[in-house]
Structure 1
Amino acid sequence: MTNKKPTVIDMFCGCGGLSRGFMDAGYEVLLGIDNNKDALDSFKANHDGATAMNGNLFEGSTILQMASLANNRQVDLIIGGPPCQGFSLTGKREEDDERNTLFKSMVNAVAFFQPKAFVLENVPGLATLYNGKAKDAIIKEFADLGYTVNDQILYAPDYGVPQIRKRLFIVGLLNGEKFEFPERILTPKNYITSGDAISDLHDFIDDLGSEVSTYESAPQSKYQKLMRKNATYLFNHVGTKHTELVIDVISHVPEGGNHKDLPAGVGDSRKFNEAWTRYHRNKPSKTIDTGHRNHFHYQFNRVPSVRENARLQSFPDDFRFYGNKTQQYRQVGNAVPPLLGYHLGLQLKKYLYSDGEK
């Protein structure tokens, strides 16, 4: 049996949530490409020596640079989440839409490297854009390269992520097989909850914490043990200092409630769908976004820390985020939950080797 790890390039990697999941599933991440320096700093620090490339994916020459930085090694898998909003199917596709060029860069990379498989992830809305024609056009681009393509929307809580989040995954295999997506491992009755995820992290009642700290209590759930498994220190668990007015508004929101539960005249400055939302300790959290002003801790009158959001996204505690706090929140919110990548990676391994290689 071979000990060879499948090799991965992560395009549009951000801090690398998806590729960290694949890494934890036994893949070797060679390279991540993005144009955000802070996100690349986080990627580089958390992917076992993978190269972080600050690249312009609008440029065709980038692919040759990618090959060079990957030491011209064989690439088994290309993953990424390119913006796919640049489709106009009312006639010709809008060739001048830059976002369309970004999508094409992933097609071009797959054409160049000829990996055994690719994984493209995106928002679920892509599946129904133009009555599904946008997704069909994307699939055709890869099918024309010789890939058998399958797609499915995955619901994060089904795979152990303590957060309500849906993502569309499009997976292609070069060997002609059709990829079967991993079966769910949990059902609604045993989803991981917000309390399961973050109840062990200290509360900031007396202080705001620091970028590097130590645990103040033992893990209180299997999920917390999993998150803490490889961690010696606690990173990015820093509180936010709120005004008395904001604390007062938050205090009026019951557990699991939102702006609709506020008394008349309270919190009127921000009353939209996700505003003033408090998590519920016995349910998965709402979808983590790229900001940090709309959601609140299920018990305390404050926003979650970067680490708490990272836990809700299934980032293990040894994953450290770099950049200022705003950048850290953005990296967490933009990421694909690593546990989703992990379960996809385990399933995809079954297809990547021929019988003689296993």
Structure 2
Amino acid sequence: MPVPPSDAPDLPNAKFFYEFNDISEACNLKTSQSPSGRSHCVCLRGNPLSITIAPSTPTELPLVSMPSRHQASVAKKDLHRPVYIGDSQGLRETLPTLKTTVSGQEPMKNFETLPPLPAHGQPLMFADLFAGCGGLSLGLSLAGLNGVFAVERDKMAFSTLSANLLEGRDVPVPQFEWPSWLERKAWGIDDILEQHPLDLSRLKGKVHVLAGGPPCQGFSFAGKRLESDPRNQLFEKYVEMVKAIQPAAIVLENVPGMKVAHKAKSWKEEFGLTKVKPHSYYDKLVESLNSVGYEVLGKIVDCSLFGVPQKRPRLIVIGIHKDLAGHLRGGANRAFELLEEARLNQLQELGLPEVVSASEAISDLEIKHVGTRPCTDPSSRTGFLELAYKGPRTHYQTLMHQGSDGSMDSVRLAKHKPEISERFMRIIQDPECVRGGLMSLAQREKYGLKKHRICLMHEKNPAPTITTLPDDVLHYSEPRILTVRESARLQSFPDWFQFRGKFTTGGKQRTKECPRYTQVGNAVPPYLARAIGQAIKLVLKEAMATANQQTITEPEQEILAIA
């Protein structure tokens, strides 16, 4: 095919000429053109796939003269850039990049620059950004992925992650394969991007999945939803990390509010005088990730459908490298189809019903069953009591207790004043108080509650959303708030998972520290993350299998356009 010298700026003329010569010689076609001379076109006489693009006289090669087996396959060369073909004044076209091996026996494949994935039998490797205490990391590890590193700025939260996934404990999941160049400490994502750009770039092909959940307080409907909240900008750092590492797949978890635009409508929008739609941070995220090579889709899922005993709607964003997404039926949406398959498989594998109730999750932690004793947790102040655990009572509790040595931490009980406990008991016994939902203004006024958000649990239903504030939720049968361990159970953290740091904090420190209640409330439920990890494994396997199966097998299609 003719390639005028002036029309192929991305491919040196001499290089193209010699590559063209390789094909010609292998096909017994003689040519005496030099790199600077007029270009030739080759076609097969009688082959319907042979075409001539550009006004030039083709050299015909009889179909019978083709060798039964290619004598010298074209050497692998850098042919990844599109080549423009046509004459210097007329037609230009762009052909897909192809690597061609002529053969009468072997199928021909359409090779693309696909993200490197591990060899057969080797696990996918992931990194976790904004990792918190490690809920997302734990779930991906339970799904069979291996962690490389995790980024978390808060020292308490990172200490918890480290205790479970970095320090070599005998636990049912693999420990992180932490890189030698990265100090094992609490890092801010901006610090790593600034101090280790070259090290991060060397992780290309070694980190296959990049996960993360940027802080959600600026998006959350439970908060003030300030557009100026600096935490709202952290997803941009996530995108920078994606660009640096270029994984095969990305996963991002956040609150549904990320999909809602913060910007108030202008008067023009109020009167329908403009069709410009305000952008949410989700919209901005999709645009940013699309610009760095990913097909992205986000959907809101209910965690309670994944075996998590908690009504917790979350926005799950999955991105697939475009070179892989092109081989998936439905693109990134295929990941959510496989997530549904993974959800059903997970319930079956774990032997869980469609819905796990609050009492099925934490009835073995009721005071009336286990009793109390003085708190022995080294991070607790004196004067507190803790639950004296005796063992699981339901199937879900048995699952949570697997891998534990019989004990667990974070079972310290809140120290309520007598009048507070009495008020809570009246609420529990009041038939007019709605269970499982937020108390109404009238109910809060009736009991002198100043908090605008307080919920009495329903023992037969999944718990309400566990937040970072321990007094948001009241126990369904005992006049108290939940322990950290009970909150963790409702998030699907196993009992062997240790929590470190303070139990609570207050005042000005609330925005600076991440104590245990906050760690649990901010976490991605591990059972949700486990299903996501299974879906990512399936979607990458399917994309690669489809890419490898896209072959041309008919004899009359043995010659492809060389560009």
TM-score by length of 2: 0.56
For structure 1, the 5+ residue unaligned runs are 88-94
Matches within 5 A, 1:187-206: 190-203=354-367, 206=372
Could you tell me how far apart the structure 2 residues matched to 1:55 and 1:301 are? 40
Q: Judging changes above 3 Å, is the alpha-carbon distance between structure 1 residues 23 and 248 closer, same or farther for their aligned structure 2 residues?
A: same
Are residues 1:342 and 2:530 paired? yes
Q: Which of 240, 254, 257 lines up with 2:428 in the alignment?
A: 254
Are residues 1:38 and 2:147 paired? no
Aligned to 1:242: 416
Q: Is the contact between residue 163 and residue 286 of structure 1 (CA under 8 Å) also seen in structure 2?
A: yes
Amino acid at match of 1:332: V
Aligned to 2:294: 147
Q: Is the contact between residue 158 and residue 186 of structure 2 (CA under 8 Å) also seen in structure 1?
A: yes
Q: Which of 176, 200, 213 lines up with 1:67 in the alignment?
A: 200
Secondary structure of 1:133's counterpart equals: coil
Could you tell me how far apart the structure 1 residues matched to 2:132 and 2:451 are? 30
Could you tell me how far apart the structure 2 residues matched to 1:154 and 1:66 are? 35
Q: Which of 127, 146, 154 lines up with 1:9 in the alignment?
A: 127
Matches within 5 A, 1:227-238: 227-232=400-405, 233-238=407-412
Secondary structure of 2:462's counterpart equals: coil
Could you tell me how far apart the structure 1 residues matched to 2:254 and 2:124 are? 23
Amino acid at match of 2:304: P
Q: Judging changes above 3 Å, is the alpha-carbon distance between structure 1 residues 29 and 294 closer, same or farther for their aligned structure 2 residues?
A: same
Amino acid at match of 1:207: R
Q: Judging changes above 3 Å, is the alpha-carbon distance between structure 1 residues 73 and 191 closer, same or farther for their aligned structure 2 residues?
A: same
Could you tell me how far apart the structure 2 residues matched to 1:84 and 1:217 are? 37
Q: Which of 285, 307, 313 lines up with 1:160 in the alignment?
A: 307
Amino acid at match of 2:253: E
CA drift at 1:3: 2.6
Q: Is the contact between residue 249 and residue 266 of structure 1 (CA under 8 Å) also seen in structure 2?
A: no
Amino acid at match of 1:81: G
Are residues 1:267 and 2:399 paired? no
Secondary structure of 1:207's counterpart equals: strand
Amino acid at match of 1:227: M
Task: Provide Cα deviations, 1:13-60, integer angstroms capped at 9, x if missing partner.
Answer: 110111110011001111111110010010111124334542222344
Q: Judging changes above 3 Å, is the alpha-carbon distance between structure 1 residues 141 and 71 closer, same or farther for their aligned structure 2 residues?
A: closer
Aligned to 2:43: none
Q: Judging changes above 3 Å, is the alpha-carbon distance between structure 1 residues 293 and 79 closer, same or farther for their aligned structure 2 residues?
A: same
Are residues 1:287 and 2:469 paired? no
Q: Is the contact between residue 357 and residue 460 of structure 2 (CA under 8 Å) also seen in structure 1?
A: yes
Aligned to 2:373: 207
Could you tell me how far apart the structure 1 residues matched to 2:245 and 2:443 are? 58
CA drift at 1:137: 2.1
For structure 2, the 5+ residue unaligned runs are 1-118, 166-173, 179-183, 220-226, 263-276, 348-352, 379-385, 430-434, 505-514, 549-563
Task: Provide Cα deviations, 1:98-144, integer angstroms capped at 9, x if missing partner.
Answer: 43542211111111111000011111011232567322221111111
CA drift at 1:295: 1.4
Q: Is the contact between residue 208 and residue 241 of structure 1 (CA under 8 Å) also seen in structure 2?
A: no
Matches within 5 A, 1:78-97: 78-83=210-215
Task: Provide Cα deviations, 1:239-271, integer angstroms capped at 9, x if missing partner.
Answer: 111100110110111272765498797531424
Provide the aligned C-alpha RMSD in A: 3.2
Could you tell me how far apart the structure 2 residues matched to 1:96 and 1:302 are? 36
Q: Judging changes above 3 Å, is the alpha-carbon distance between structure 1 residues 297 and 49 closer, same or farther for their aligned structure 2 residues?
A: same
CA drift at 1:202: 4.6
**Larger Cα-atom Rg:** 2
Could you tell me how far apart the structure 2 residues matched to 1:292 and 1:163 are? 15
Could you tell me how far apart the structure 2 residues matched to 1:264 and 1:120 are? 36
Amino acid at match of 1:33: V
Q: Is the contact between residue 203 and residue 245 of structure 2 (CA under 8 Å) also seen in structure 1?
A: no
Q: Is the contact between residue 428 and residue 477 of structure 2 (CA under 8 Å) also seen in structure 1?
A: no
Could you tell me how far apart the structure 2 residues matched to 1:201 and 1:115 are? 42
Amino acid at match of 2:145: Y
Secondary structure of 2:189's counterpart equals: coil
Q: Judging changes above 3 Å, is the alpha-carbon distance between structure 1 residues 137 and 344 closer, same or farther for their aligned structure 2 residues?
A: same
Q: Is the contact between residue 279 and residue 286 of structure 1 (CA under 8 Å) also seen in structure 2?
A: yes
Could you tell me how far apart the structure 1 residues matched to 2:421 and 2:216 are? 39
Q: Which of 272, 279, 299 lines up with 1:133 in the alignment?
A: 279
TM-score by length of 1: 0.86
Secondary structure of 2:299's counterpart equals: strand
CA drift at 1:207: 3.4
CA drift at 1:217: 3.5
Are residues 1:314 and 2:502 paired? no
Could you tell me how far apart the structure 1 residues matched to 2:537 and 2:242 are? 18
Task: Provide Cα deviations, 1:68-104, integer angstroms capped at 9, x if missing partner.
Answer: 9x988711011111247889xxxxxxx9974354221
Secondary structure of 1:172's counterpart equals: strand
Could you tell me how far apart the structure 1 residues matched to 2:366 and 2:428 are? 21
Percent of residue pairs bearing the same amino acid type: 32
Q: Judging changes above 3 Å, is the alpha-carbon distance between structure 1 residues 336 and 151 closer, same or farther for their aligned structure 2 residues?
A: same
More strand by percentage: 1
Q: Is the contact between residue 148 and residue 172 of structure 1 (CA under 8 Å) also seen in structure 2?
A: yes
Could you tell me how far apart the structure 1 residues matched to 2:489 and 2:468 are? 15
Q: Judging changes above 3 Å, is the alpha-carbon distance between structure 1 residues 86 and 333 closer, same or farther for their aligned structure 2 residues?
A: closer
Aligned to 2:79: none
Task: Provide Cα deviations, 1:274-314, integer angstroms capped at 9, x if missing partner.
Answer: 2xx32121011111111212212111111111100000011
Amino acid at match of 1:219: P
Q: Is the contact between residue 387 and residue 411 of structure 2 (CA under 8 Å) also seen in structure 1?
A: no
Q: Is the contact between residue 208 and residue 249 of structure 2 (CA under 8 Å) also seen in structure 1?
A: yes
Task: Provide Cα deviations, 1:313-346, integer angstroms capped at 9, x if missing partner.
Answer: 1111111000011111110001010111000001
